[in-house]
Homo-oligomer: A and B are copies of this chain.
Amino acid sequence: MNFKESHTLILNNVARFIDLTELEKQKYISLLAEVKVKKKAYLMQAGEIAQYEYFIAKGCLKVYTLDEDGAPHISMFAIEDYWTGDMASFMTKEPTRYFIKATEDSELLGISRSNYGLLFQEIPKFERFYRILYQRSLISYIRRSNHGISLDAVERYIAFKKKYPKVVNRITQKDLAAYIGITPEFMSKIISKVNRM
């Protein structure tokens, strides 16, 4: 994939909520950095300060923390047409507690902190874009955290498969367990149980 394609993708993503003139499109693209991450490479590691927010043009990454026992907790799988990063660290400049690791060769577009600030000055419409983007993210986070509490592990697995059917086939069972919030052993049990149903 050349960068023309990733630019088209991100412009289509933005066009969901705001209309940009040709000039604004060019300006926006000029504020983005092109980033490639090989499978198993890290885009971010705990302790660093997040310098970019990312749009994924191609590939798949897992976003996770490690608890005190060193066990990973995956908070999201980021694929094409999604946004990722650690907004808390990006905004506050505090060190992140997240790792972001590519599970496939991936191509991203990143916006730096200073360009993120510039963007609102130069194209105020982007306040609206991000207002709507964050509003929608908030809605889906709230839904998800409710599911996390009120459903048992089997139901959470079935809900994930239903909501992200394409993702299930691109990730390992172990990573899925770390996302669902159970051990790989129990995940294995669940899957063979669900398949038998």
Q: Please report the C-alpha to C-alpha distance between residue A127 and residue B17 in the assembled complex, in whole angstroms.
A: 13
Considering residues A135, A137, A141, A146, which has the most beta carbons from chain B within 10 angstroms of its beta carbon?
A135
- Secondary structure at chain A's binding surface: helix, strand, loop or mixed? helix
| Contact of A145 with B by CB under 8 A | yes
Interface residues of A (CB under 8 A from B): 65, 67, 73, 75, 87-88, 91, 120, 124, 127-128, 130-131, 134-135, 137-139, 141-146, 148-150, 181
> How far, in angstroms, from A134 to B139 measured CA to CA in the complex?
10
A87 to B132, CA, bound (A): 12
B65 engages A150 (CB within 8 Å): yes
A-B contact list, 21 entries, CB within 8 Å: A65-B146, A65-B150, A73-B146, A73-B149, A75-B142, A75-B145, A87-B138, A88-B139, A124-B127, A127-B127, A127-B128, A131-B131, A131-B134, A137-B138, A138-B141, A141-B141, A141-B142, A141-B145, A144-B145, A145-B145, A148-B148
**Are B73 and A150 in contact, with the CB atoms below 8 A?**
yes
Contacts of A134 in B (CB 8 A): 131, 134-135, 137-138
Contacts A124-B127, A131-B134 aside, 16 further interface pairs with beta carbons under 8 A come to A67-B150, A73-B150, A75-B142, A87-B138, A91-B135, A120-B128, A124-B124, A127-B127, A127-B128, A127-B131, A130-B135, A134-B135, A134-B138, A137-B138, A141-B142, A145-B145
Shortest A5–chain B CB gap in Å is 28
Contacts of A149 in B (CB 8 A): 73, 148, 181
